[in-house]
């Protein structure tokens, strides 16, 4: 086989692409893929095959590498192949897909759930299906990019979009009171993926009820992690969301997304949610693995307990609450964050540096994520490395995320 061939873009395109990348380079914001080894057997993904300890994974319970999940995936592949051979509305919604949807509805305490190929697709499909000129969406400033893009598409229908300061329930209430549309949607992350904090769900529920709005909560980082049964941030807060959006790619350790709520609303998304309608359904082995992961999580509450113990150890070291497995270490300067990540990588620890535009200017950080399959020694080694590796004029510091 011959090697890769150089393909030239037309001059106008070559110049435009080069200029866009040069802008990224000038701001030290150009991204590069850095391959990491797959999880080694028996570690649940806490270590790569080369011994690198992973502190950037969203596999919060270690279910991606659990033996029962591995076996379920392998058995489904042997029996059914990859599948699913089409979109859900064509031939891709198998009996296994239906079982998974029912299990997710049961977990979230809703009438129904609808699977989507990714959490991104679930958010954009839902928001697009809800949108029309009679709707105002009220969205937290730090909501996930999938919500932001879904709302950008919603604007094209004539829907109004109000973005409120992060975690500010009073601003949400004011936006609802001031709207000039008959219907409204409050949409928020349950757990914010870069900050690790939890939305003020009780206050948002109260505001939504007072103004006849529905509350949509993205439980991507709360599912199987928060709450007595692992239903998420809403369960932990004792709050009912009208619609839950979730993903199977975080604590479930698989791939895919879902929308859970009223059966009629799920039917609306099935019929109007373009990101769901026009995407191939999830591969059958992935569905089987997700079902096995839900089973393991249900019968092994000790996984959540172990994760919370790691959070408590970090809280003790930081002197502040750590309500979720996402622990941001804000360094401010981009070079400091990149340098800290490189130092940790040299010490055998993979911790990703997050820079603008993913986070606001001046808040570059290490995004540390904890997992139930980390050992106590892993956590202590990371804390020690962070203490030894602090950089910057002030010696480095842990700090609460500013309310932006």
Residues 186, 217: Cα–Cα separation, whole Å: 8
**Spatial distance between the Cα atoms of 357 and 374, rounded to a whole number of angstroms:** 30
Give every CB contact of residue 31 below 8 A, 6+ residues apart in sequence.
24
Contact 137, 163 (CB under 8 A): no
Closest CA to 242 of 277, 212, 199: 212
**β-strand 352-354 against 364-369: which pairing, if any?**
antiparallel
Dihedral sign of CA atoms 373, 113, 275, 16 in order: negative
Helix (H, G, I), strand (E, B) or coil at 260: strand
Beta bridge mates, 164: 140
Instruction: Calculate the CA dihedral of residues 139, 263, 121, 116 and round it to 10 degrees.
Output: 150
Q: CB-based burial of residue 9 (10 Å sphere; 0-12 exposed, 13-18 middle, 19+ buried)? A: exposed
CB 273 within 8 A of CB 60: no
Sheet holding 183-189, edge to edge: 112-116, 257-261, 243-247, 214-218, 183-189, 135-140, 160-164
> 63-74 burial string, b = 16+ CB within 10 Å, else e?
bbbbeebeebbe
Q: Which of 378, 354, 356, 358 shows the shortest CA–CA distance to 367? A: 354
Distance CA 334, CA 342 (A): 12
SS3 283: coil
Interatomic CA distance for residues 224 and 233, integer angstroms: 10
| Active-site residue list | 193, 221, 250
């Amino acid at each position: 086989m011959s090697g890769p061939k150089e393909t030239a873009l037309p001059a106008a395109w070559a110049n435009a692409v080069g200029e866009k990348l040069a802008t990224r380079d000038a701001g030290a914001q150009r991204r590069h893929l850095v391959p990491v080894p797959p999880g080694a057997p028996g570690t649940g993904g806490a270590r790569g095959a080369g011994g690198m300890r992973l502190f950037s994974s969203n596999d919060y319970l270690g279910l991606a590498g659990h033996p029962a999940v591995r076996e379920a995936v392998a058995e489904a592949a042997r029996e059914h192949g990859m599948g699913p051979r089409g979109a859900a509305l064509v031939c891709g919604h198998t009996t296994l897909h239906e079982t998974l949807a029912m299990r997710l509805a049961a977990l979230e305490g809703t009438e129904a759930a609808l699977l989507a190929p990714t959490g991104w697709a679930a958010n954009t499909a839902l928001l697009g299906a809800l949108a029309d000129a009679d709707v105002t969406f009220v969205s937290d400033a730090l909501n996930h990019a999938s919500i932001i893009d879904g709302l950008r598409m919603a604007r094209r229908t004539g829907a109004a979009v109000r973005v409120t300061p992060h975690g500010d329930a009073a601003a949400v209430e004011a936006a609802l009171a001031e709207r000039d549309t008959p219907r409204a949607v409050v949409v928020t992350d349950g757990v914010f993926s870069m900050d690790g904090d939890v939305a003020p769900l009780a206050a948002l529920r109260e505001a939504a009820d007072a103004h006849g709005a529905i509350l949509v909560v993205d439980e991507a980082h709360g599912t199987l992690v928060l709450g007595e049964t692992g239903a998420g941030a809403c369960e932990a807060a004792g709050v009912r969301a009208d619609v839950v959006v979730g993903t199977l790619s975080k604590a479930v350790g698989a791939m895919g997304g879902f929308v859970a709520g009223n059966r009629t609303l799920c039917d609306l998304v099935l019929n109007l949610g373009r990101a769901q309608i026009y995407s191939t359904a999830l591969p059958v082995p992935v569905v089987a693995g997700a079902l096995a992961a839900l089973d393991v999580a249900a019968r092994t509450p000790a996984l959540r307990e172990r994760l919370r113990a790691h959070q408590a150890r970090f809280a003790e070291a930081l002197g502040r609450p750590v309500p979720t497995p996402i622990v941001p270490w804000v360094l401010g300067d981009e070079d400091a964050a990149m340098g800290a990540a490189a130092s940790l990588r040299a010490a055998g620890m993979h911790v990703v540096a997050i820079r603008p535009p993913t986070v606001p200017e001046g808040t570059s950080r290490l995004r540390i994520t904890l997992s139930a399959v980390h050992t106590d020694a892993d956590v202590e080694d990371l804390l020690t490395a962070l203490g030894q590796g602090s950089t910057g004029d002030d010696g480095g510091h842990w700090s609460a995320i500013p309310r932006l």
